[in-house]
Structure 1
Amino acid sequence: MSISTRAAFRVATLTALAAVTASLATAPGAAAATPARTPDPVQRQLDALVRDSAVPGALAHVVKAGGRARHYTSGTGNLATGSAVPSDGSVRIGSNTKAFTATVVLQLGHVRRIM
């Protein structure tokens, strides 16, 4: 990967993580106000990310209270073959974990979940 490709990939990864984090912060209220047949808020965010940006695909793994896990995918996982994003896929985010962790800590502090 070239430097600009790596930078674009990192920005896309952080954008996807921020979108998922933001949707999780609003998920309880949104879920209560929407009918059951409407897609999950996390799925809507991933679909919007793929639709509205240069990101070809996105994935998220969410573990809710009680340990219930859910995999979300959207878009294309392999541009050469056109195959979908695998639900058991992974994203190497390397040094970006510091920024992501800081964002989550600030969000939790803002809603007074941590002090």
Structure 2
Amino acid sequence: MEQFGYEAQPQDLDAVFTALSDPTRRAILARLASGEASVGELAEPFEISQPAVSKHLKVLERAGLIERDIDRQRRPARLNGAPMAAAVRWLEEFRRFWSSSFDELDGLLEELKKAKPKGADDE
């Protein structure tokens, strides 16, 4: 039986999934997809403090999903998609598995339809 998800994975894959597990961090990433932003700009749509947003940014930065610069008095954050690619590759293994499983199920259902006795619908 073929096993999925057990081959050597990048060490930061756990950090990426941990970072993506929080809806606020996912929203921050979505915002950064349109361009860099400061902590204040990222905090605007949320009902949380700037220090709380900073904590989320640290998690994202440790996972490698964002990079931060020092621009005078602000530290703008920008998206770094490379670590996300490793997560997508890992998930892709399971997509192939489920696609294959559904194809097998479709084949089995077709066989069952063909094997159904002709008078079975009349009952």
The structure, 1 or 2, with the larger RCO (C-alpha pairs under 8 Å, 6+ apart) is 2
Q: Which has the larger strand fraction?
A: 1
Q: Which has the larger helix fraction?
A: 2
TM-score past 0.5 threshold:
no
- Asked which structure has the greater CA Rg, the reply is 2
Normalised by the size of structure 1, how large is the TM-score? Answer: 0.31
